[in-house]
Amino acid sequence: MYDSINVKRNNKDAKTGDFTNSDSPLIPSRSVEVIMFNTDAGASIINLPAGINGKNYVIKNVGSSTNDVTINPNGAENLFGVNTGFALADSETVNIYYSTTNGWW
C-alpha cells in the first residue's frame, strides 16, 4: 500500500500517475491530478484522501481484463451523493471534484 503517494518523473512531481494493482490500495497525493490504473493483474482500490474544496482527480481504468477499480470516499465524505465506493470498469474514466458542501462529485 502506498500512503499519500507522490509520483516523481525527472525529479519533478508529476501530475499524472500510472499505477497497477500492486499499488492497491492507493491513497493518491494531492499533487496528482490524473490517475491511470492498469487492472489487468487484478481488481484495485483507490481510497480518496480527505477532500479539499476545489480538488479534482481524473481517474481512468486502463485495464482490459474485466477487473474494476473501486474508488472509496474518505471517512464520512460522500462520493456521488452516497458514502460508498464506486466501481470503474475497463476503459471507463471519471472526473471527480470535491466541494465542502457536497463531497466528491
User: In sequence order, what DSSP letters do the residues of 60-102 get, joined into one string?
Assistant: EE---SS--EEEE--TT--BTTBSS-EEE-TT-EEEEEEETTT
What is the pLDDT at residue 24? 85
Domain range list for the chain: 2-104
Pick the CATH number of 2-104 from 3.40.50, 2.60.120, 2.40.160, 3.30.310: 2.60.120
C-alpha 26/C-alpha 2 separation (Å) is 6
Average pLDDT over residues 86-98: 96
What DSSP designation does 21 have?
Answer: G
**Could you tell me which residues are beta bridge partners of residue 26?**
2, 46
C-alpha cell at 49: 484522501
C-alpha 14/C-alpha 3 separation (Å) is 16
What DSSP designation does 25 have?
Answer: S
Average pLDDT over residues 51-78: 95
Categorize the per-residue pLDDT at 5 as very low, low, confident or very high, splitting at 50, 70 and 90.
very low
Average pLDDT score over the chain: 85
